Amino acid sequence: MINTSVNICGVELKNPVMTASGTFGSGREFSDFIDLNRLGAVVVKGVAAVPWKGNPAPRIAEVYGGMLNSVGLQNPGVDWFIENDIPFLRQFDTKIIVNVCGHSVEEYENVVRKLQGQDIDMLELNISCPNVSEGGMSFGTDPKMAEKTVKAVKKLADKPLIVKLTPNVTDITEIAKAAVSGGADALSLINTLTGMKIDIYRRKPVLQRKVGGMSGPAVKPVAVRMVYQVCKAVDVPVIGMGGISNAEDALEFIMAGATGVSLGTANFTDPYATIKTIDGIEDYMKKYGVNDLSEIRGIIE
């Protein structure tokens, strides 16, 4: 009997497969296609203290083996989320992880304060979005700032706190250690890599905001490397993401040390990608005699 379940900070997920924030809404759009009950967890699109409009279009550009986005965390705010999305997601037997975004420490605090006592399972602090001009990634590129922000949020959090890291730094282990010393219960990585695409016929950037965040299969080797480095550097559970499209990709991250894995851009290119990944992990375990994912987690020295 194989056991696909994983435990992250005391929260038991039926399998390690989650959805990367911002690629799955709160699951509604995918319920036409897949059974949300099968997911380890749904990590919802970033939630702010008040509604955010996001950035002007075009927000999307395709690049080789991936894409750029500059959505800018458009969201209807935490009050709307609590009223509409928590009841929707609670119909399903899956864990709810709420991604929290803000322009300032106070804004992060306001979201987390409102989420106190709500029926959710974990929080994911987004200090890594490249598409907002204040806050966002700026909190995740300076170790001191990262530690300070995590510490402030952790004080108010009544659920385990995951901190999502940006790859747009020289040494991601420094930020990882800072987040852990600030009180992070788990880490998730990587957010998108900043990128740019120019339309040579119009002689203009494709994205209205010029730069955006790159995701998709093309970033996967960078993400595997960073997850490996972070898993070696800290003792908290790590949720790996960055270009995961199938079980083979997910297993790479697990062998690099990740406890959970998230699919992001793959949801856009195949709405069934999460389910195929869950099935594929089970098939791999059966075929290669793995009874529990802990047997292969972090096996790369």
Partner 1 sequence: MKKTETAKVLSNNKLAEGIFDITLECPEVSALAKAGQFIEIYPDNGANLLARPISICEIKENALRIVFQTVGKGTKLFSEYKMGDKVRILGTCGNGYDLKNGSALLVGGGIGVPPLLETAKQLISAGSKVNVVLGFRSGSFLSDEFEKLGAEVHIATDDGSVGFKGNVVDLIKAEKLAAETVYACGPKIMLKFLSMHCEGQNMPLQVSMEERMACGIGACVGCVVKIRDEVSADGWTYKKVCKDGPVFDSREVCWE
Residues that bind partner 1 (CB under 8 A): 22-25, 28-30, 32-33, 45, 51, 53-54, 57-62, 64-67, 69, 71, 74, 206, 216-217, 265, 267-272
* Residue 187 · residue 165 · CB < 8 Å: yes
Residues 6+ apart with CB under 8 A from 153: 100, 105, 108, 109, 112, 123, 125, 161
CB of 276 to partner 1, least distance (A): 12
Task: Determine whether 237 is exposed, middle or buried from the number of CB atoms within 10 Å of its CB (0-12, 13-18, 19+).
Answer: buried
CB of 66 to partner 1, least distance (A): 7
Query: Of the listed 9, 101, 129, 231, which one is catalytic?
Result: 129
| 92 versus 268: smaller Cβ distance to partner 1 | 268
| 80 versus 288: smaller Cβ distance to partner 1 | 80
CB of 265 to partner 1, least distance (A): 7
Place of tokens 């929707």: 88
Tell me, yes or no, if 129 is annotated catalytic: yes
Instruction: Please give the full DSSP string across 129-144, using - where no structure is assigned.
Output: -TT-SSSGGGGTSSHH
CB of 46 to partner 1, least distance (A): 10
Residues 6+ apart with CB under 8 A from 171: none
Neighbour count for residue 37 (Cβ, 10 Å):
10
| 167 versus 216: smaller Cβ distance to partner 1 | 216
| 27 versus 182: smaller Cβ distance to partner 1 | 27
Task: Give catalytic residues, as residue numbers.
Answer: 129
